[in-house]
Structure 1
Amino acid sequence: MRGMDEPPVTLRARAAEDLDALYSLAADLDSWEERGPLGPAPLSRAEWEARQEAQAADGNVRFVIDVDGLAVGTIGLFDSDELARYAEIGIALVPEARGRGFGSAAIARVVEFGFVRRNLRRIHLQAISSNAAALRAYEKAGFVVEGRLREHAWVRGRYEDIVLMGLLRSEWEAARV
């Protein structure tokens, strides 16, 4: 149940009507570096659809971030370890959804899903150091900085640090009391 001040965010499976918005997000070169380790490059619809097919069977958990029936982004847990009980979190929002609290709400929901439904012990992430909005959203969800990979990413003509953050289930549970 969400609070009165919390945005109306739902996490759900991808549907056919989401594909145009999700492809547009995946192909957005302006935010490419914030969403993954691969260098920026044009992404055709056919290439994107092939990636979607491959991802369907990889065991990762992916949700569409839904606001009032519209897909505004994706969030998921990936590269999980069943023995050590951890996974990495990743999120991407369409430009018009950024800065409105949707990302923070989605992060809180997927963290709860990971700890309560997937029995994870730890969730971690990597973020580009200049992405202040993302770092604030992760800190708001309880993630703490665990380290930094100095000048690890090439972003728009310069090297940037990657900030490593993590959240333990015990920390998350303590904060909920």
Structure 2
Amino acid sequence: MIDRRYGRAVAEPPRVTLRARTDDDLDVLFGIAADLDTWEERNPQAPAPLTRERFDARRAADPGGDAVEFVVDADGRAVGAVSLFGFDLYARHAEVGISLAPEARGRGIGTAALVQVVEFGFTRRNLRRIHLQAIASNVGGLRAYEKAGFVVEGRLREHAWVRGGYEDVVLMGVLRSDR
């Protein structure tokens, strides 16, 4: 592809799709779940090493509840996961969460996956609002969320303990009427 601004070739953006998880995806998903560098950004629990056995046992024991989980696939390869969870069927809203392998970050993959899962939530699950929480230092994530249509709705000051210090948690949301 040619960048019109500069007249030089640039890499094609990856083709991003959402799909059901298969056994072939488990190594990638384990790698993301075990990544201590981003643990606090994804989990309310204290960081600790995660063994493959514990990961597999947790997956087997967790029925998923009402969560809708997708594998994020970029150019035919699993690179992460995105889910809708915490459904409020009366108020018609849910929370979204996304996690990507390090090599998939900063390439537009997260934004594309979020756009797709939001569309799924609004058109297939009849949601009217989707929200998320992110730590303030996750600048790349915040940028991806904004590109996907989320707006900042609030901030929980010093709400999360992350890598040795307290961080704000940014609350963001998107309404079906915003699209």
TM over 0.5: yes
Distance 2:18 2:111 in 1: 12
**Unmatched segments (≥5 aa) in structure 1:** 173-177
Residue number in structure 1 paired with 2:161: 154
Per-residue deviation, 1:6? 5.2
Per-residue deviation, 1:31? 1.0
Residue number in structure 2 paired with 1:68: 75
Two-structure CA RMSD over aligned residues (Å): 1.2
Per-residue deviation, 1:151? 0.3
Change (3 A) 1:22 1:87: same
TM-score using structure 2 length: 0.90
Summarize deviations over 1:122-156 as a string: whole Å, max 9, x none.
00000000101111111111111111100000111
| Preserved contact between residue 6 and residue 105 of structure 1 (Cα < 8 Å) | no
* Structure 2 counterparts to residues 16-165 of structure 1, below 5 A: 16-165=23-172
Residue number in structure 2 paired with 1:14: 21
Moved more, 130-139 or 33-42: 33-42
Greater Rg, structure 1 or structure 2?
2
Distance 1:57 1:154 in 2: 26
Distance 2:23 2:37 in 1: 25
Distance 1:48 1:15 in 2: 15
Distance 2:144 2:40 in 1: 18
Describe the SS at the equivalent of 1:58: coil
Describe the SS at the equivalent of 2:65: coil
Distance 1:96 1:65 in 2: 13
Identity of aligned residues (%): 66
Per-residue deviation, 1:57? 4.0
If each structure's helix is expressed as a fraction of its own residues, which one has the higher value?
A: 1
**Unmatched segments (≥5 aa) in structure 2:** 1-11
Distance 1:149 1:57 in 2: 27
Match for 1:158: what amino acid? G
Describe the SS at the equivalent of 1:31: helix
Match for 2:43: what amino acid? G
Please identify runs of 4+ aligned residues in structure 1 that moved more than 3 A: 54-57
Distance 1:67 1:141 in 2: 17
Describe the SS at the equivalent of 2:168: strand
TM-score using structure 1 length: 0.91
